[in-house]
Amino acid sequence: MRVYRALGGVWLRLACCGLVILSLAGCGDSGPASSGAPTTVRRLTQEQYATIVADIFGSDITIKGRFDPDVREEGLLAIGTSHVSITPASLEQYDSLARSIAAQVVDEKHRDLLVGCRPASKAAPDDVCARQFLSEVGRQLYRRPLTDSEIATQVKVADDATRAIGDFYYGLETSLAILLESPRFLFREEIAESDPDNSGGFRLNAYSRASRLSFFLWNTAPDDALLAAAENGDLDSERGRARQVDRMLASPRLKAGVRAFFTDMLGFDTLGGLAKDPQIYPKFTATLAGEAQEQTLRTITDHLVTRKGDYRDLFTTRRTFLSPLLASIYQVPIQARKGWEAHEYPDGDPHTGIVTEVSFLALHSHPGRSSSTLRGKAVREILLCQAVPTPPANVNFSIVQDTKNTNYRTARDRLTAHRTQPTCAGCHKIIDPIGLSLENFDGLGALRQQENGAPIDDSGQLDAMQFSGAVGLGKTLHDSPAATACLVNRIYGYASGHLPAKGEVEWIKYLQDRFAADGYRVPDLMRRIAISDAFYKITIPPNSPTQANSGAGKAPSMERKS
C-alpha cells in the first residue's frame, strides 16, 4: 500500500538506459525485470457476469437479480474483488439467477438457436447432445476447456435430471445452472506454471493469461479466438500476445473495457445511490445521475479511444457529449431532442475537462450545497492517488454549515474561518484550495457567479501551483506528473487485481516513463502492459512445495495488509 502511494505521489522519469545499468535488464521494449506478484482469485463483478451471459447467449436473456456490493480497496473495486467471498444470501441470488438464465436458454423460443443440437427424444437423456452443449458452454464459462471428468459430471447431472423429470431440456437446464453457479465461473481463479524463460520462476498458465488479458481490455471472458490462442501456445510469447492484443485493441469492445476501468477509477458505482435535496436541486433525478455518468464515459472513450488523444487533455478538453437533460443543467442550447449530441464549448468557457462535468461536481458535493473540501479530496485521492487523512473526531463544523450567516456568505469565507482551527488546518490547506477553484459550480454542477449575493472568488492552489477557476485547475492537472503516474498505477492495479508488489515497482516506474514517451496514449499503455511478460509473472504459486521455505514468496495475506 505504501509502495503504491509513493509511486503515485512521486513521479520519477527514468531513462531506459539508466535502468540497464541499475537493473542489468535488457534495453529492449520490455523494460526492467519484475518480480510479478501472487496469483489472485477475483469474484466476477455484476457487469462482467452480465456481459459474459450476453456474449454466450445473446442480449435478450433477461438477467434479474442483485449481487452483493463490491468492496473498494486502494481506490479500486477491481482490487476489492480479490478479497471478497460469497455469503449464503448472495449464493441464493446466484442460484436464482443461474436457474432463470438456464430456463430461458432452453425455453422453446431459444433452444434451437442456443443449444445447437436436438435430442433423439425430448423425454429421455441424450448424451451426445448434452455433451456437445455443456462442453462448449462450459469452455466459455470456465474460460478454459472442461476436463473429461468435469464434462462427465455435467452430463450426468443433465441425465439424472432428465430421468427424474422426464424432460431432456430440464436436464440441460439443471446442468447449465450448475455451471453458472460453479466457483470456476463465479471466481476468476488464476493458475501458475513454471516459466520456461526464467528458470525457477513462475508465470500464469495460458488460460489464466487469456483471462487477465480479456478482462483487462474488454471486461469480459476470453472469446473463442483468444481461447484458441491460449490453447495453441500463441500467448506464450510477446509476439504472439501482440497479435491477439492488437486484434482486441482494434475491436469496438475496447470501449467497453475502457469504460469499465474509468467507471471503477472515478467511483461511479456510488452515483447510483447519490441523493440530492429535491427542494434545492429539483432537476436532480436518478436519470440525471445516469446521464451524467454516460456523458463522462462518452467524453473519455471518444477522446482516448476514437481520437487516440493524450490522457492529460481529459482535464482541459472542451469537447463533450450532451443529452437534452444535461444541456438544461449546463444551460447550453443543443439540437437533439433526445439521445446524445457532440458539443464543443467555446474558448475560455469554464467547462473544461471531466472535472467540470456533473458526474464529478455533483458526486463530490453535499446533498444541498457544493463542497470545496469533498472536491479537493476527490482530486487528490481519485486523480492524483494521494491519501487524505480522515478528519479528527471532535470538530465543530457550525461555521462551515451555516450558509445563512451574513458574515460568511461564500464557501471560501466559511472554510477560511474553519481553517483557523489548528487541528483542521493541516488537511484543509491541502484540500480546500483545489476545490475552491470549482466554486463557480453549484452542488449539482450548474454554473453560478455568486453565492448568497456575494461574488465568488475562484482562485485555487494545488501544491506550489496557483491558478484561477476551473480553467486553471484543468491546466494544472494536465501538467501534473502525479496525475499521469496515478493513471498508470490505477490501470495496473485494475488489470492485475492486486497492489504492486515490491518487486514490481521498477517496472511500474518504467511504465510511467513509457506512458510519457508514448504521448500519454492510454490504449498504448494498455497494449504495453497486456503484451509484456511482467504482467503475467507470478512470484510463487500458492501450492508450490517450495513456498514454505522461500523468502521470495509473498503470502497473499500479507499483500492485503501491507
Partner 1 sequence: MRFTRRTALRGVLGGGAVSVALPFLDCFLNDNGTAIAATGAQLPVRFGTWFWGCGLTPGRWIPNKTGTGYDMPTELKPLEAFRDRLTICSGFKANTDGKGAVPHYTGSMSILTGSAPKGQGLVDFPTFDTTIADTIGTATRFRSLELTATGNPRDSNSLRSSAVINAAEPSPAAFYARLFGADFKDPNAANFTPDPKVMVRKSALSAIKEQRDALLAEVGTTDRARLDQYFTSIRQLEQQLEIQLEKPAPLEACSVPSQPAVTKTGTQIDDAIANHKLLAELLAHALACNQTKVFNMVFADAGSSLRKAGSTVTHHQLTHEEPIDEKTGCQPEATFFVERIVEALQTMLVTLDGVKEGDGTLLDHSLVFAHSECSFAKIHSLETIPMLIAGRAGGKIKTGIHIAGNGDPVTRVGLTVQQAMGVPMNEWGAGSMQTSKSISELMV
Site residues, partner 1 (CB under 8 A): 38-41, 66, 68-69, 71, 83-92, 95, 99, 153-154, 156-157, 160-161, 164-165, 170, 174-175, 177-178, 181-184, 186-187, 189, 191, 273, 275, 277-280, 366-369, 390, 393-398, 401, 403, 542-543, 555-557, 560
DSSP 445: S
Minimal distance, residue 238 CB to partner 1, in Å? 27
Q: How far apart are CA 4 and CA 492, in angstroms?
A: 11
Cell for 279?
427542494
Q: How far apart are CA 520 and CA 343, in angstroms?
A: 24
| Helix residue spans in 302-421 (DSSP H) | 324-330, 358-361, 372-378, 398-401, 411-419
- Closer to partner 1 at the Cβ: 95 or 238? 95
Nearest residue to 140 via CA among 69, 197, 58, 201: 58
- Closer to partner 1 at the Cβ: 85 or 232? 85
- Closer to partner 1 at the Cβ: 121 or 396? 396
Minimal distance, residue 318 CB to partner 1, in Å? 32
C-alpha pair distances (Å), 480 with each of 466, 469, 473? 13, 16, 10
Write out the H or E segment, with its range, that includes residue 466. strand 465-468
- Closer to partner 1 at the Cβ: 198 or 396? 396
473 and 467 Cβ atoms separated by less than 8 Å: yes
Minimal distance, residue 408 CB to partner 1, in Å? 14
- Closer to partner 1 at the Cβ: 164 or 228? 164
What is the length of the chain?
Answer: 562
Nearest residue to 372 via CA among 465, 451, 270, 289: 451
Q: How far apart are CA 211 and CA 235, in angstroms?
A: 11
Minimal distance, residue 38 CB to partner 1, in Å? 6
415 and 432 Cβ atoms separated by less than 8 Å: yes
- Closer to partner 1 at the Cβ: 140 or 352? 140
Minimal distance, residue 289 CB to partner 1, in Å? 13
Q: How far apart are CA 283 and CA 361, in angstroms?
A: 15
Backbone φ, ψ for residue 441 (5° rounding): -115, 130
- Closer to partner 1 at the Cβ: 18 or 368? 368
Minimal distance, residue 412 CB to partner 1, in Å? 19
- Closer to partner 1 at the Cβ: 26 or 272? 272
Backbone φ, ψ for residue 488 (5° rounding): -65, -45
Minimal distance, residue 389 CB to partner 1, in Å? 12
- Closer to partner 1 at the Cβ: 113 or 555? 555
Backbone φ, ψ for residue 76 (5° rounding): -135, 135
Q: How far apart are CA 155 and CA 135, in angstroms?
A: 9
| Helix residue spans in 60-147 (DSSP H) | 77-80, 88-105, 111-115, 127-142
Minimal distance, residue 181 CB to partner 1, in Å? 7
Minimal distance, residue 152 CB to partner 1, in Å? 10
- Closer to partner 1 at the Cβ: 136 or 160? 160
To the nearest 5 percent, what fractions of the chain are helix, strand and coil? 55, 5, 40
Minimal distance, residue 87 CB to partner 1, in Å? 5
C-alpha pair distances (Å), 160 with each of 126, 131, 173? 11, 14, 12
